[in-house]
Each structure stands twice: as C-alpha cells, then as structure tokens.
Structure 1
C-alpha cells in the first residue's frame, strides 16, 4: 500500500504541477540513490519468498499473513507432507496470488528512471536499473509457477486509458518464462558484483534466481506432456504448458546461470568442520556463511506487527524443556528420514533390530541427517531429547506382525503393548518405567507438542536462544533465499537432463562430500523406472534411476527449505507422490523382558493422509481478476 500511494503521488504531482508538502515525488525518489533504495525497500518486503512466515494454505495474505505466529502450522512443508503435522492439507486451488500492483511499481520506476540518469554515474545507474528488472522477474516467477502464462506488462498502465488497452490478455507460458529469462539476463549484465549489502540483490543473486527459474521452465516443458491436458483450452492456446522441444533451451539457461554464480565469492560451507553434522546445522544460522547468496533478514529488536520477527523456534521445539510456547507442531516422517542412509531396523530374518540405546538409530546416518534433525539423546538448550512411543512387555514376532502399529495386531494387545500420555508410568516386574519419554508420542494429546515419530526438526533452529525466550514472535534468524548448494543441485539436474551425466555427478559429489555422505555415482544407472523413492509412487513417465538419485539428493539437501512441493509440481509427479500419501513414522519401543529397544515402521496413528489432484499443477486464474478482464480466459485446466 505504501508504494502504491507513492506511485499515485508521483503522477498526481507531475500532472497537476503541484508540490504538496510531505509528498515524495519522482525527483525525491528516483533522483538520488537513497530515494531509490527507499522505494525498493517495500518491494523487497513483498517479494514472493516462501520463508518462516509463508502460509502454504489458502490465505489472501500468504506472504504477509495476519496471525503470522501460526505460519509454522500452515507452512509449505506441512501443507505438502514434507513435515508431519495435524493441521493442514494440500491446497490445490492456491490463494489468488496476483501481484500486479507491485509489478506496476517496478514499471513506474523503469519508465521514469531514465529522466534522472544525469544524476548518476553509469555504474550506479545501470546497477539500479538492473535491480528493478531482477525484482520484476521475481514477481513474475511467483506468477508463472502458479498459473503458467500470464499477462506480460512492461509499462505502467494509464488507469484512464480505454478499457480495451487495459484488459491485457495472457501470454503463452513459454513467453512468460522467456520474459523472466530476459529480465534476469538484463539484470546480470547491468548489476554490480558487490556483495557487501545484505538482503539486496547483485549480479550473482540475479544469476541464482535465473538458475532456479530456468530449471522450473525446463522441467515444465519436458514433463507437462504427461498430464493429459492436451484437450484443455488453455493448453491448446499455449498458456498452460510448453512444447517439449523447448526443454533443452531452458535447461541450458539454467546451467549457464549456475556457471555465473560459480564465478562469485561463494563456497560450500565448511566452517564447522570436522563436525559435519554441526557444520550443516550452522550453515543456516551463520550470518557470514560462505554459501549464502541471498538472505532475508529478521530483527528481534523491531517493534511488533511488522513481520520482522517470526516464531520458528517456538513451533519446532517441544515445551517445556526447549520452548515456552505451545510446543512443536511439525516433525520429520520416516519417508524422508530413510533417505539419509538410516541403519536397518529389521534383520534379514524379519525380526526387529535390537538397540542398546534409542539414540543408536543415529549411528551410521550421514552427518547431514543429524544436522537436519534432532534424534533421541541429542541435546538442545541443556536438555536431551527423550523420544519413545511406548513399551512392549515382550516382542517375539516379526516386525511385520506389528502391522504398522495397528491396534488389531495380536502383538499390540494392550496387555502387551503399553501406550501412554505425557508423564505416564507403568510398573513391570516391580520396576517403574516411563512409557513415552518426555518428548514422545502422547495418547492423551492432539497435534500440539506431541512427538509424532522419533525425531524433531533441527534445520534453522537456533540452539543459543534461552528456553524462556522461545516464544511467539521471538525468533529472528535469517532465511536463506539462495545458497550455493541449491545452485549445484540445479546445475546437476539440468546437466543430466541435457545428457551430460558425468558432469552432473561432479556437482552431486561436491554436495555429498560436504554432507558427510558416501561419495557415489550410482553407476550412472541408465535403466529406467516409473517408481519414485518417496511413497514408491508411480510416475506418469519413466526416468533413469540416476536421475531419480539426483531428485532424491534434492530432497536430502533441501529438506525443510520449501522446495519439495514445487519440485513435485514441476516434475509433474505431485498427484502420484501425494496420492493418499500416509506418512510413515519411526516409532521407538522399549522391550521390557530384554532391556532392549526396537524401532518399528508405523502409519501415523491418526491415519492422516495427503492428496494432491492434477489441479495442483496450474492454479486457477483468480476469478475476481477474470471478472475485471475477460481476456484472461481461457481458464487453466480442470477449472
């Protein structure tokens, strides 16, 4: 709203030749670098960055939510099933994102700025103009990944112009992504390489956004043919889908952009070595990380209600030991945990592996897993995690006989399997035992502060914050918008899609070495399959197993960073991966007559499922906008 008012002020003052006191016009805003920076500030704040505050579910203010402490409950990770929680489900319809007011603000600048070129050196002028193109591309990215083709508006419209000139039709999806490419190419060619100003774009940030956007576009071009939308009007018009012959064009743009990023002063984060688990966790907290290309900053000293604080710690940590608010709302499911070289929990003969300690489940897992998740025995804020599902008096059957936790399985008879609530104990052979542990799965509680599974989220959690200070709106760790690890993964995937398999795995090896994972090239396996590794979903197409490995590497490295949902959408696999997707949870039990622990693969106890339909690939053009502009039709497929 602030920027919109400023824009109105600019044109009103010029048209009427008035200079009202207190009103900032073109000369004040565009005639000096400080004014431009002030003008851009509100635009940066409105960028479609899906961070701690982002509401993944239906909300008119997804990027600027009103009750924003609840963003953790309604995060993109929770919405898409990347986390397990009991609050939200997949939203196929979106939330009518339509940021043309911000695009207008940028177009006003791009049109007006040349009038003030004499006030700047060539370097500063070009940098600011390039920055404007970067900002515009970012908003168009938010549109394109939701709707496909949208109206490309390069100049600020005159609200008094004839209606027929204001009702701009949609461009094709190919043209929309190509426009993003052109804007970002302009930005890269004109922006400075100066990286000193945190939270502000430069040449490398523009290249990072180009890397991400072009990977999206290439995937959409290659895989949209499998959706079965060919008979839809928007598809026939080129607005929802790109011809598969264009895929390599965009994949090459992605590779080229990644190479530009590599010329910058960035390196995979290793400051925390030799402890690779702590190193990976610190990557997201270190404000001077060598890997961060672009971050969104927060400030705990800022006054309330300005979205410069968030509540991530309060919603990821159990209370009262590690949080003073409602407690943890999100948990990593077994479906993702087992991607990290998790040790076997079942012996070759089908019996559960016996562990001396619950925390032994961490042994053998790659350090990146421990940097991403907290396991039993890990310490946070002076307290050790204590995570248990229950107690078996004896367990003398196969793991499969537990039937994924079903109460109908004979071994799970309540006389043998003991479940409980917070703090409950039971006595067995004269010994009093805590049933669940302090942070376990409590039968007497619902979604809040209930340990669904055998791990908690570590990524982005600030371990140095005192428990008494872990409350709503009391966190201010930054969000990493772009980092080198993602760019390596983007480049690797694009190279593989282009047929450069060996070069692709050079980047994967860099990621896995830093992660502490086994350095492996899966024999560059070119055998094909249509089975994905998450939920063993049937893809609508076959892919080489080595490419599936690269996709899985994204899931491991970028877990909890709000990429997975969009990856599933661009790969056109969301409706299969999230087809009655029921999270599996890793449940720990104490076997009383043996004094040992076992882990069982169970379905979440409320049988919660996630389902995405084919509608999710293209959200509907907002009907309110169609009511104002019928040229936005045809509507997207399935709406």
Structure 2
C-alpha cells in the first residue's frame, strides 16, 4: 500500500472553529503538542465528540439539516419519493464534471485532519493519560477514520490516503497528494477497523461510542462493498475505480460477520411470544422503535440523539404522517408502489398486485391489496387506515356519495378526504422507526439512528457465503431473518433471493441506494421508461365510496404527479462513482477525475 503523508492544502487549511462553549473556547484542540490539551481528558472528550458529530453516521439528522439528505437518498434508491422533489441532479443523472449533487456529497478532509491529529497525539505512549483511556480514545479515532474513508470511497472510489497530520509549512505542490487505488483504500479501511477492534476489545463504552463490535460491523459492511464491486464491477483508471480481487474481500467480510455472530452479545430481536401474524407485526415494530441496547439485543452501534438542550433530530417531525388534524411538516417520504410490492405475503407468495384491477370503476377493500402481508410491511409503510399512535392515517382524496364525488362532510365515520400532504405523490408513507406519539419539534427528536444491527450482519454473512459458494450456512442465516419476520423458509440461496430479503429487511435504513450501486444493478433499476429504461415508480390514489364502504384505488405516476415538477430518472454506468469535480481538481491538480465526467 502507498504510504502517503501529504494532501492538497485545500483539504487542510480550514482550521476547525470550535463552538462557543466555555470548555472548547479555552484551547484550540487541533494545535499539536499542547500538553494541556492532550493530557486533559475533558478536553479530549470534547474533541472526540466533535469528530464523531462530523463523521455523519446518519445522513440528514444533524442540527439544521432538516433531514433533507436523508429523504434524498431514499428517493435516489427508488424507495420513496421525497415530497419536495429535492436531489434532482442525483436522480435524473445530470451530475457533471462540476461536481456531485450537494444533497449527497461527502468530501470531508477537514475531519480527516482532525482525526489524524487525535491518532498522533493518542499514540504517544509517554502520555500522562491513563493507559486504558488513551487506548480507548485511540481506538475510537481509528474507527471514525475508517467510517469517514468508507463514506467517501463508496462515492468516489480510490482516495488520497492520509495517515498523519500534514506539515502546513510545506509548499502547495508538496501538499498535493494523488488518489490511491480503490483496493488500497478499502485495505486502509480494513486496517483501521482491525486497529480499532484490538484497542477497544474488552472496553466498556457508553452507548453511542465505538466498540470492538462496531469496528467489526464496519469491516463486515465495507469489505462486503469491496467484494461486490469486485464481483460485479469493472476496473478502470488503473484501479482508481474498481476492485480486482473479489474473493479476498468476501472472505474478510465473512470473517468479521462470523466474529460478531459467534462471539458477540447480540441476538435477533423477537418478542413475538405468541408467534401470530399480529404478534410478529408488533414485535418488529417494537424493534424499529427501541433504541435502548439493553432491551433491543440486536443493536450494535447507534448515533445518539437526546433532544432539547443537546443534539436532536428532525427525522420524526418530517416523516410523521399527518393524522387527527395535524397538518405540520410530516409525510415527506412517500413510498413507491414498487417498494410496497417487494414485501411478500405472509404465506411467501409474491407481493405484486394485479394492476389491471386498479382502474376507475373498480372497488376494493384495503385488505384486498394489503391484507396478510409480511409483518415487516406494516412496521415500515402506512396504508389507508393505518393506526398511528391511536389515530388512523387517511390518504383518500375524496368520497363518492350517491355516485357524486364530494370533498366535505363525514361518511361512515370517515372524513370526506384525508390530509393532502399524505398523498402528494404516492399515498403510501414511510413510517419505519417513526415515533407513534406526537412528533417532537424541530431538532428535538430523541430517537437514536441505528448504524449497525445484527440483522444486517446476518445478511452480510449470507451474501458473502453466496459469493464464495454457500455450504448451507448462508441459507440458514437468511432463513433466520425470515423466521423472525414470520415468513416461511426458502429452500435455495441465490442472488435474487438474497437481494429481495436484504431490501425488505433493511428498507429505509440507508442501504438500498448503495446496494444497487455496488451490485451494479442501478442502471436497470433506477432508469425509467422516459430515459430508455424499464423501471417504473408509481403510487396509488385512493377515493372512498361511502355507498359500498370500499375504495376506488388507481395507479398514478408516483414519480411525477401531473401537478408536480417532473422527476425523470436516469442512472448511467458513470454514476456508479460521483465526479470528483472540476473545482477540487483545480485546487489539487494531481487528482484524476472519475471516468466519463
């Protein structure tokens, strides 16, 4: 691996400006060699808290971000339409050499420098710090650096590898650093995960801080990405993008997953004691809403939010359905019908609907379409009449009374129409992990964001086993996920089965877009008919017929309702990597742009 100790000055000259809290105002923590900083645990804790926050473990929950980046990535992956139509450059394929869409870009060399300062200072074995504290903090720094590099490599491919703080007295030319290959970058991430695992093993950490298990989970995911890119992708630009040795990374991912499964203190969450369909729905819903690692045995690592007076999220506020007269900010993530159809019925039959019956004049009960689905469906998606915190969610846009469509009054206990925000595009809503009680105010949300959980690790294990030639153990792990959900076992582990199960288990958890990219499936599944593809992105429109107590349910263009701004979709081969961008290359001339930009 190349040992690179320099980077373009544009990555490092912006020194960190600390918050106005008294503790942080006393000392600039990124000035190397100040004993009063790096021998003071309270100052180091403040420094580490900042690099944790800047690592952005969950897109779009930082204060002031209003969760925009979060629902953009769900729209980009074809899971749910962002009601406000944001992220168009990412979705319609218009990214160019000017740079990636700002709603999903991540190029954080300032934080890399701060992390490298921490690693350098905490590696000092002559420090007056207590050894266990110093090693724990060092392990956390390696973990965060691995995460930051992973967040960038999955966007851009090979990166400049920076292992130590640069000397800013060097010339501009001396500070410029070229990109390493994508394989070298993944190797670097794996090495940092290994260092973090060793340093953190046996350390008792507060919830929300890195552990040896979190380091293994990151390695499991990162090496899985590298393996699949090697399996399905192409090597270009002399390896700056692409991976040539897929099996190496499948093996590394498998080994990390196996350690967690065999040795970790985790279990798949399942409190469905009765085992009925209703029990399974309640259990899985509870899993998505429980952020306490003591009661939710599946959790490995989460980004913490504590609301008022601290770090809060706006996720619940923006995703909460509008119910019971509440017409606030909610219902921003509107689920495509194709996403709903990915969920099987509880008997294992395919979840696709007969769209020939979803036409004007036909009448249906809600159960005709969505009765007895995979229990995970009801924990993840709101449909007409879903009980949400004791109030029903309504999507219908009018009521037929005596054959005449009306928008006023009440019929059979239902209002003539639901809140219009609920049905702007699709009339199905993403509710996974959304608090059922009243949504908290802006930046006051307290539900943690799960970064790693055991369900993902089981699926990582199954995928690596499939790629390497499953001996039956991969199928066992996949079926354990299905059993927990209350679905029948499958007899064979193949790629369609694996991809289907991973999609529904991890739906809306910031996986689908990245999975389609690493599997090299995005060209097919994220390009619509208008752009020469075959993918469709539809929604539903509900009208209530009070005379028969049923619904007229029709299919709409969920990607572009007539009254909305067009949101055509195009994903070309070049989009498997984001453009570095002409501005960054102008600042650092040794950076090479990604193919076809």
TM-score scaled to structure 1, two decimals? 0.76
Q: Are 1:210 and 2:219 counterparts?
A: yes
- Structure 1 residues 599-625: Cα deviation after superposition (integer angstroms, max 9, x where no partner): 444433437532223332111223333
Q: What is the DSSP-based 3-state SS (H/G/I as helix, E as strand, rest coil) of the residue aligned with 1:69?
A: coil
Q: Which residue of the partner structure matches residue 516 of structure 2? A: 568
State the Cα distance separating 1:113 from its structure 2 match: 2.5
| SS of match in other structure, 1:287 | coil
Query: Which is worse superposed, 35-44 or 192-201?
Result: 192-201
| Preserved contact between residue 335 and residue 584 of structure 1 (Cα < 8 Å) | yes
Quote the Cα distance in structure 1 between the aligned partners of 2:378 and 2:434: 13
Contact kept in structure 1, 2:323 and 2:391, CA below 8 Å: no
> Which residue is 2:49 aligned to?
41
Q: Secondary structure at the match of 1:632?
A: coil
- Find the counterpart in structure 2 of residue 630 from structure 1: 589
Q: Quick check: 1:216–1:570 contact (8 Å CA) kept in 2? A: yes
Q: Give 1:309's match in structure 2, choosing from 312, 320, 323.
A: 312
Pick which of 31-40 and 549-558 moved more.
31-40
Q: Is the 8 A contact 1:323 1:470 kept in 2?
A: no
1:389 CA displacement: 5.2
Is the CA contact (8 Å cut-off) linking 1:29 and 1:38 kept in structure 2? Answer: no
Does the C-alpha gap of structure 1 residues 21 and 203 become closer, same or farther in structure 2, counting only changes over 3 Å?
A: closer
State the Cα distance separating 1:489 from its structure 2 match. Answer: 1.0
The equivalent residue for 1:102 is: 111
Deviation per residue, 1:170-218 (Å, 9 max, x gap) = 1111111111111111211221344541110010000011011111111
How far does the alpha carbon of each residue in 1:124-147 deviate from its partner, in whole angstroms, 9 at most, with x for none? 443332222111111111111111
Structure 1 partner of 2:230: 221
Looking at structure 1, the residues matched to 372 and 52 of structure 2 have their Cα atoms a distance apart, in angstroms, of: 43
In 1, Cα distance between equivalents of 2:73 and 2:426: 20
Q: Which position in structure 1 is the counterpart of 2:22?
A: none
Any stretches of 5+ residues in structure 1 without a counterpart? 8-19, 54-63, 395-415, 443-447, 525-545
Confirm or deny that 1:476 pairs with 2:446.
Answer: yes
Matches within 5 A, 1:346-365: 346=354, 357-359=365-367, 361-365=369-373
Deviates more, 1:494-503 or 1:557-566: 494-503
Pair 170,432 (structure 1): closer, same or farther in 2 beyond 3 Å: closer
Q: 1:573 to 1:211 in 2, by over 3 A?
A: same
Kept in 1: contact 2:210–2:301 (CA 8 A):
yes
- Secondary structure of the residue aligned to 1:295 is strand
Question: CA, structure 1 residues 163+311, in 2 after alignment: closer, same or farther (shift >3 Å)?
Answer: closer
2:432 pairs, out of 459, 463, 466, with 459
Query: How far apart are residue 242 of structure 1 and its match?
Result: 1.8
**Aligned partner of residue 284 in structure 1, secondary structure:** helix
Deviation at 1:260, TM superposition (A): 1.9
- Is 1:283 matched with 2:308? no
Task: Find the aligned partners of 1:113 and 1:34 in 2 and give their Cα distance.
Answer: 14
Q: 1:43 to 1:258 in 2, by over 3 A?
A: same
Change (3 A) 1:434 1:2: farther
Q: Please, which of 298, 301, 319 is the counterpart of residue 305 of structure 2?
A: 298
Choose which of 539, 542, 550 in structure 2 pairs with 1:585.
Answer: 539
Instruction: Name the CA distance, whole Å, in 2 between partners of 1:150 and 1:587.
Output: 46
CA contact (8 A) 1:389 1:419 kept: no
Residues 95-129 of structure 1, C-alpha deviations (whole Å, 9 max, x = no match): 35321111111212222233354534554443332
| C-alpha contact (below 8 Å) 1:272/1:282 kept by paired residues | no
**Partner Cα separation in structure 2 for residue 3 and residue 270 of structure 1:** 48
- Quickly say closer, same or farther: Cα 1:44–1:582, change in 2 above 3 A: same
Q: Is the alpha carbon distance of 1:370 and 1:194 closer, same or farther for their aligned partners in structure 2, counting shifts above 3 Å?
A: farther
The alignment status of 1:237 with 2:238, answered yes or no, reads yes
Using a 3 Å threshold, how does the CA distance of structure 1 residues 210 and 311 change in structure 2: closer, same or farther?
Answer: same
Q: Deviations over 1:498-540 (max 9, x none)?
A: 111522111111111111222223x44xxxxxxxxxxxxxxxx
Q: 2:74 aligned with 1:77, yes or no?
A: yes
Change (3 A) 1:196 1:113: closer
Instruction: State whether residues 368 and 517 of structure 1, in contact with CA within 8 Å, keep that contact through their aligned partners in structure 2.
Output: no
Whether the 8 Å contact between 1:347 and 1:353 is mirrored in structure 2 is no
Structure 2 CA distance for aligned equivalents of residues 373 and 360 of structure 1: 16
Q: C-alpha separation between the residues in 2 aligned to 1:552 and 1:166?
A: 46
CA contact (8 A) 1:325 1:471 kept: no
C-alpha contact (below 8 Å) 1:345/1:600 kept by paired residues:
no
The alpha-carbon distance between structure 1 residues 94 and 326, as it changes in their structure 2 partners (threshold 3 A), is closer
Bigger CA drift: 196-205 or 326-335?
326-335
Query: Which residue does the alignment assign to 1:187?
Result: 196
**CA RMSD after TM alignment:** 3.4
Rounded to whole Å, the distance in 1 between the matches of 2:185 and 2:405 is 55
- Please report how far the alpha carbon of residue 42 of structure 1 lies from its aligned counterpart in structure 2 after TM superposition: 0.3
Contact 2:338 2:536 in 1 (8 A): no
Q: Distance in 1 between matches of 2:486 and 2:223?
A: 29
Task: Assess if the C-alpha contact under 8 Å between 2:335 and 2:428 holds in 1.
Answer: yes
Q: Which residue of 1 aligns with 2:8?
A: none
Structure 1 residue 65, shift from structure 2 partner: 7.2
In 2: Cα distance, 1:368 partner to 1:576 partner: 26
